[in-house]
Chains A and B, each alone.
Chain A
Amino acid sequence: MRLLLSLLSGSLFGAGLHISGMTDTARVRGFLDIAGAWDPTLAFVMGGAILPMLVAWRFTRSGASLTGDAFPKPTSQEITRPLILGSVLFGAGWGLVGLCPAPAVASISYGGWQGFVFLVAMLAGMWAVPPLRRMLDSGAARA
């Protein structure tokens, strides 16, 4: 059940990214180029994706999911330094190439060597974060 639901979710996500043009880096970078030839498509994609989720969150206030797993609890609302600096770093990389994590995976079959190089670098970056965090934490503890 969990496997099937995950497969279905990923399939819908992939189809949506592909159809909406979000695996096309020119379209994504066009959205970020507000002072140039601005392409508003990404805003429609974001809006379209948020709509069904707005409804879904309303059903998570009570009960449980189909598999019986509990719904996610309200998370911390603390605005932390890693949240802001991490998002700035992510945005810079996103603007540089025009790919974020999901489209980088969704476009594997047609992204060519460029997509492959980006994906490997992204996975390396993700892999490096836990040791980086430990280094930063121990550095902060000494200071």
Chain B
Amino acid sequence: MDNAWLLGLLGGLLIGAGGVVLLLGAGRIMGASWIIGGLVDGSTTERGPTFAFLAGLFVTPALLSLGGWAVSTQATSQVWMLILGGLAVGIGTRFANGCTSGHGVCGLSRFSLRGLVATIFYIGAGVVTVTALRVGLGL
């Protein structure tokens, strides 16, 4: 699609708006791994808002799909990649205390050095992995 960058920018602004609502509305940082992880390991003290946030997060894409704006995830069907990838993302984001939304969007926008360092390392590792898979395994 030719206007992918425009939709990217528009979608990005919506993501940022979500961050603004949570920050100025409730004084919270919109970090997906922190929000999801806190629920999974029981460390969150805010179950209600966490469930509300996660409900919104998957219901709007579902509604957009039903309304005719379909997106395919095009995820791999290699089970080992899905399991290994999921474990690495889950463990990595919790050790690093953040992911693309927390360190990337919320961290970079407040000029956080930790956010910048994390972002450089996860994008770097992502580039190495994608390149190695393509060149080495043709995936």
Q: Residues of A with Cβ closer than 8 Å to B? A: 2-27, 29, 32-36, 39-57, 59-60, 64-67, 69-72, 75-79, 82-102, 104-112, 114-115, 117-130, 132-133
Contact = CB atoms under 8 A, between A and B. Distances in A.
B75 A66 contact: no
Q: Please classify the interface of chain B as helix (H, G, I), strand (E, B), loop, or mixed, using the class held by over half of its residues.
A: helix
Given A16-B15, A82-B95, A125 B65 contact: no
Contacts of A42: 8
Contact of A110 (B59, B65, B100): B65
Nearest to A13: B18
A50 B56 contact: no
Contact of A10 (B12, B18, B105): B18
Nearest to A8: B21
Contacts of B75: 25, 97-99, 111-112, 114-115, 118
A9 B13 contact: no
Contact of A126 (B20, B26, B90): B90
Interface of B: 4-30, 32-33, 36-37, 40-41, 43, 46, 48-50, 52-62, 64-65, 69-77, 79, 81-97, 99-101, 103-106, 108-110, 112-114, 117-119, 121-131, 133-134
A78 B114 CA distance: 7
B92 A107 contact: no
B88 A6 contact: no
A34 B5 CA distance: 16
A12 B14 contact: yes
A91 B126 contact: yes
